[in-house]
Structure 1
């Protein structure tokens, strides 16, 4: 639901690390225009829901704790149109299944998949070179 405010981008150059002798290429890179801080989100939520800021704060902090708890339990957390969150892991490759143990996991991360409203918002964006 872009209201006509374009997403800013700039041009950057990159070298292909796999083929460093090839000429550098030019790419678009988004440029942020600021930050939306948690306090502002709380204030806007409280105002939109006609609730106190204390109640909005309590809601967000409890939601954060519950999402973490559900992720730690191995569940996919679906937040409606916001999207879903899931634990993802990385490991090196091994020759046999027996070699793959919990000790070979090199990294854990949270995978985010946007919901339909966010996907539609991404499709409707317009851009401006700065």
Structure 2
């Protein structure tokens, strides 16, 4: 199976007068929700779908809780989640404060097996 993509025209944000260029962009092939994942896991194990859904919900709750504490959440062969942010630059250390933080995000760093997946992808253009 391959990852499908389409072409999109985009302007150069640093030079709006420049001609547009065309770029490849991923076309999603649907999505999978918690309930479907729980069903899939239950079919591949001795656990019920309800038990799997409960575990996934608890996992989500605990990941959020640990990230709020500033901890890195390591999920074994999946990868790591971590909070990151951007801040304004200041001239002195004394000027730096939390009010200078401008953007928050959750980083996901895939583990080795997940990174390998990226080297084995194939692509097909949507017509």
TM-score range relative to shorter protein: over 0.9
**d(CA) in 2 for partners of 1:38, 1:72:** 22
Q: Is the 8 A contact 2:34 2:56 kept in 1?
A: no
Which is bigger in relative contact order (C-alpha 8 A, separation at least 6)? 1
Q: Which residue of 2 aligns with 1:107?
A: 103
Show structure 1 runs of 4+ deviating over 4 A: none
1:22 offset after TM fit, Å?
A: 2.1
Q: Deviations over 1:60-95 (max 9, x none)?
A: 111112212221221111101111000111211222
The whole-number CA distance in structure 2 between the counterparts of 1:99 and 1:48 is: 55
Partner residue of 2:113? Answer: 117
Q: Which residue of 2 aligns with 1:92?
A: 88
Q: How does 1:55-66 map to 2 (within 5 A)?
A: 55-66=51-62
Q: How far apart, in 2, do the equivalents of 1:96 and 1:59 lie?
A: 47
1:6 paired with 2:2, answer yes
- Partner of residue 70 from structure 2, selected from 70, 74, 78: 74
Residue 11 (structure 2) pairs with residue 15 (structure 1)? yes
How far apart are the structure 2 equivalents of 1:107 and 1:26? 29
Tell me by how many angstroms 1:125 deviates.
0.5
Query: Where does structure 1 lack aligned partners over 5 or more consecutive residues?
Result: none
- Of 17-26 and 78-87, deviating more is 17-26
Superposition RMSD in Å = 1.2
Q: Residues of 1 paired with 2:72 and 2:33: CA distance?
A: 26
- Give the TM-score, by structure 2 length: 0.92
